[in-house]
Amino acid sequence: MKVVGQAIPHESAREHVTGRALYTDDLLPRYPQALHAWPVQAPHAHARVLRLEPAPAHRVPGVVRVLTAADVPGLNDAGIKGDEPLFPCEVMYHGQAVAWVLAETEEAARLGAERVVVEYEPLPAILTLEEAIAQGSFQGATLQIRRGDLEQGFRASARVLSGALYLGGQEHFYLETQASLALLDETGHILVHSSTQHPSETQEVVAQVLGLPRNQVTVQCIRMGGGFGGKEVQASPYAAVAALGAYLTRRPVRVRLNRWQDIALTGKRHPFYARWKVGCSEEGRLLALQIELFSDGGWSLDLSEAVLARALCHIDNAYFIPHLEVTGRVCKTHKTSQTAFRGFGGPQGMVFIEEVLTQVAQTLGLPPEVVRERNFYGPSDSPETSTTHYGQPIKDVERIRLIWDELKSSAEFERRRREVALFNAQNPQRKRGLAITPVKFGISFNFTAYNQAGALVLVYQDGSVQVNHGGTEMGQGLYTKIQQIAAEALGVPLEAIRLMPTRTDKIPNTSATAASTGSDLNGAAVKEACEKIKARLAVVAAQRFGVNPADVVFEDGQVWSIWKPEERLAFAEVVRAAYAQRVQLFADGFYRTPGLHWDKARMRGKPFHYFAYGAAVSEVEVDGFTGQYTVRRVDILHDVGDSLSPLIDLGQVEGGFMQGLGWLTVEDLRWDAEGRLATRSASTYKLPSFSELPPVFNVRLLPRATETGVVYGSKAVGEPPLMLAISVREALRDAVAAFGAGGYVELASPATPEAVYWAIEKVRRGALVFGD
């Protein structure tokens, strides 16, 4: 029986729900000697540190040491771009840590941090995208992608429209906040347990801060309680503080942010602002689009350029735009350093193009879904209209339309359109809205070198197996998929496979578990390692059976030849025989995604191995007095290739969708005039919860969707479904439109009830004016 593709629960599901699953900070009780760290946080968004006096902290009983810039033996920088001082002399955002206090207890560290005397000279701060654009406060390169000839496109256009939209950011709100525990190991070198999506980079940063070669630093991640991109680079500063503390005090040091600290200190999804000019035909076909994107990168560069590049690469979503110019800039503001967040700029790019299409549709008085359809890429026999603006031919371009048509019919879109129209005609104060939107998302890291992975598989004499790979588990089910892949590739039952915690001393130079590539990359590396071992075992078994090694079958812990299936050996017997013959029972595996190339300067090439596709239909009901609304029903059809693990994939589609719904409808980050984040906990920052879950939620995976060239025909699933939630934003706009008399409905993002209320007010006023 095939193990890959079986619908099994997450390998830690029982541990998750019973509380037995351990996270980094749960290791703390094993180290009673551990010191606790607490940050000294600056009360200004931008200021010079004039004086820092640690001595008073030592009057608090239990305070052991105050870490400052003077303590750093290596480089005082917690990033890899050289712009993130671990202990800054210039404060760049409200709440930034300028020093860390180590003490016997968390409480003593907190009290000690209060006593540290810091004198600041406040400086003017840039707190909004508008201010940054006006003052030319940018960081990193200007990015641009062009296709065709804009002038010509606009000249040929029957209509030329312009618009602008601001998109809010998003707090990751992983349940487990940033956590690290550093110790000197038995050889006197550093071991850091870290809740990091990128153990190798965390290792690099720790080594850099301590001034040690990387072989003296080991980073281990047992699992994360969610990362969502927030631990791709931003786990490293806390690992560095813990490591520095352990290095200086020779005692274990634990850093674990509380929720307030985590929200105040760590970066979020980038807020974006875009302004555009679009030209189209009377039928709503896009002819020319000129669009400028500005992202709020916060105080340091972090991953902002890469996030912006992905936004530029996804400005097309599923649509062919013959003449296109998209330009992007990262703004520098005195806020947290915005970072990776599920979709990595893709969602922002896609919201903008969906906005533009709706603007075109509503201006022309056409149904938005008709305008969307008219602009799809394809047909597949037309290379021009099946190639992206950065020059990549779209493999399986016909899937966009296939999924769209299939979903429209299974969700009974046309019938429900009529029902919604009827409901709206009968109800002056409540309106329903319906929308369908597509997703096309490129899979691979834009940065080609990251598309590699390694594995190390060990088979013991009793036939049990340990699997090491470079990917980290954050709840997304990577370990479950890897376990299935290893069991399938070796022909052993799932229980025979043990997944080892991710450590830099097992697999070196790994990439972040990100860009949804965890199972594509690590899965392929693990499969290769397993197949090497199996090939060696096949030779041993073939001798026993007197057949050709190619005729030996490994399945479910048993080994036989196709010529005599009834004569079976246990996998462990073959392993023991191999050991006796001195056959190597462990192997490495390596994978690099083939065929990728990307010219960063020209922004052209083939950055993606393939695309993930999906579509969603959402229906909402809006109250005209308050702007409050409910999501009544959602239908999703999503392409994961041949699912490696259907339950995991369904969970990823549902979870991704809900996280996108949160971003676009309820999650609202607010900063006060001093640049202090006002929404610093679940009481002020609204998260989607069960109450936002649509009562009818039909999620299906596209059948017969084998993706050749990816491990077991699968496709990545982690990020693409987030963007299916754009259908909710569009359904809300559809409902708001029903309160008015036609035309483009402007809707702020996030589309909170308040934003929806103001949008209704506006269309009602517009209707009155038209009516007069």
For residue 13, what are the contacts with CB-CB under 8 A and spacing of at least 6? none
Q: Does 640 bind ligand MTE (CB under 6 A)?
A: no
Q: Which tokens is 462 given?
A: 């009793």
Q: Which tokens is 745 given?
A: 């409905």
Interaction pattern, residues 304-343, with ligand MTE; x per rule: CB under 6 A: --------------------------------------x-
Q: Which tokens is 488 given?
A: 């399938």
Q: Which tokens is 341 given?
A: 């967040």
Give least dist CB 7 to ligand MOS, A.
25
Residue whose pair of structure tokens reads 């429900």 in the numeric block: 416
CA nearest to 744, candidates 752, 734, 754: 734
Query: Which strand (E) or helix (H) includes residue 67?
Result: strand 63-67
Give least dist CB 184 to ligand MOS, A.
30
**Is 197 or 375 the residue whose CB approaches ligand MOS more closely?**
197
Asked if 345 and 269 touch (Cβ cutoff 8 Å), the reply is no
Q: What share of the chain is helix, strand, coil (3-state, %, to 5)?
A: 35, 25, 40
Give least dist CB 522 to ligand MTE, A.
8
One-letter-per-residue 3-state SS of 131-166: HHHHHCCEEEEEEEEEECCHHHHHHHCCEEEEEEEE
Give least dist CB 403 to ligand MOS, A.
23
300 interacts with, out of ligand MOS, ligand MTE, none, CB within 5 to 8 A per kind: none
Asked if 149 and 358 touch (Cβ cutoff 8 Å), the reply is no
Q: Which tokens is 499 given?
A: 């997944």
517 interacts with, out of ligand MTE, ligand MOS, none, CB within 5 to 8 A per kind: ligand MTE
**Is 513 or 593 the residue whose CB approaches ligand MTE more closely?**
513
CA nearest to 618, candidates 604, 630, 605: 630
Amino acid of residue 519: S
Strands 47-53 and 90-91: antiparallel
**Is 392 or 472 the residue whose CB approaches ligand MOS more closely?**
472
**How far apart, in whole angstroms, are the C-alpha atoms of residue 654 and residue 110?**
39
**Is 652 or 749 the residue whose CB approaches ligand MTE more closely?**
652
Q: Does 475 bind ligand MTE (CB under 6 A)?
A: yes
Amino acid of residue 262: D
**Is 424 or 517 the residue whose CB approaches ligand MOS more closely?**
517
Q: Does 290 bind ligand MTE (CB under 6 A)?
A: no
Q: Does 476 bind ligand MTE (CB under 6 A)?
A: yes
607 interacts with, out of ligand MTE, ligand MOS, none, CB within 5 to 8 A per kind: none
Judged by CB under 6 A, which stretch of 279-287, 440-448, 471-479, 573-581 contacts ligand MTE?
471-479
Give least dist CB 412 to ligand MTE, A.
30
The binding site for ligand MOS (CB under 6 A) comprises 197, 229, 232, 340-342, 344, 514-515, 719
- Bridge partner list, 589: 455
**Is 115 or 269 the residue whose CB approaches ligand MOS more closely?**
269
**Is 60 or 453 the residue whose CB approaches ligand MTE more closely?**
453
Give least dist CB 501 to ligand MOS, A.
19
Asked if 320 and 379 touch (Cβ cutoff 8 Å), the reply is no
**Is 574 or 726 the residue whose CB approaches ligand MOS more closely?**
726
**Is 229 or 284 the residue whose CB approaches ligand MTE more closely?**
229
Query: Which strand (E) or helix (H) includes residue 478?
Result: helix 478-490
Catalytic residue among 719, 730, 746, 761, which?
A: 719
Could you count the other beta carbons within 10 Å of the beta carbon of residue 606? 17
- Can the peptide bond before residue 750 be classed as cis, meaning omega within 30 degrees of 0? yes
Q: What are phi and psi of 330, to 5 degrees?
A: -95, 125
**Is 490 or 515 the residue whose CB approaches ligand MOS more closely?**
515
Q: Is 338 left (phi over 0), alpha (psi -120 to 50) or beta?
A: beta
One-letter-per-residue 3-state SS of 91-144: ECCCCCEEEEEEECCHHHHHHHHHHCEEEEEECCCCCCHHHHHHHCCEEEEEEE
Q: Is 40 left (phi over 0), alpha (psi -120 to 50) or beta?
A: beta
Residue whose pair of structure tokens reads 């004569």 in the numeric block: 567
Among 227, 346, 470, 720, binds ligand MTE (CB under 6 A): 227
Q: Which residue is nearest to ligand MTE (CB)?
A: 518
Q: Does 178 bind ligand MTE (CB under 6 A)?
A: no
Among 118, 478, 541, 661, binds ligand MTE (CB under 6 A): 478
518 interacts with, out of ligand MOS, ligand MTE, none, CB within 5 to 8 A per kind: ligand MTE
Give least dist CB 319 to ligand MOS, A.
23
Give least dist CB 515 to ligand MTE, A.
6
For residue 569, what are the contacts with CB-CB under 8 A and spacing of at least 6? 541, 544, 558, 559, 560
Interaction pattern, residues 695-734, with ligand MTE; x per rule: CB under 6 A: ---------------------x-xx---------------
Among 168, 229, 345, 627, binds ligand MTE (CB under 6 A): 229
DSSP for residue 523: H
Give least dist CB 447 to ligand MOS, A.
12
Is position 719 annotated as part of the catalytic site? Answer: yes
Give least dist CB 512 to ligand MTE, A.
8
Interaction pattern, residues 490-519, with ligand MTE; x per rule: CB under 6 A: -----------------------xxxxxxx
| Residues with catalytic roles | 719
Using CB under 6 A, list all residues that contact ligand MTE.
Answer: 226-229, 342, 474-476, 478, 513-519, 652, 655, 716, 718-719
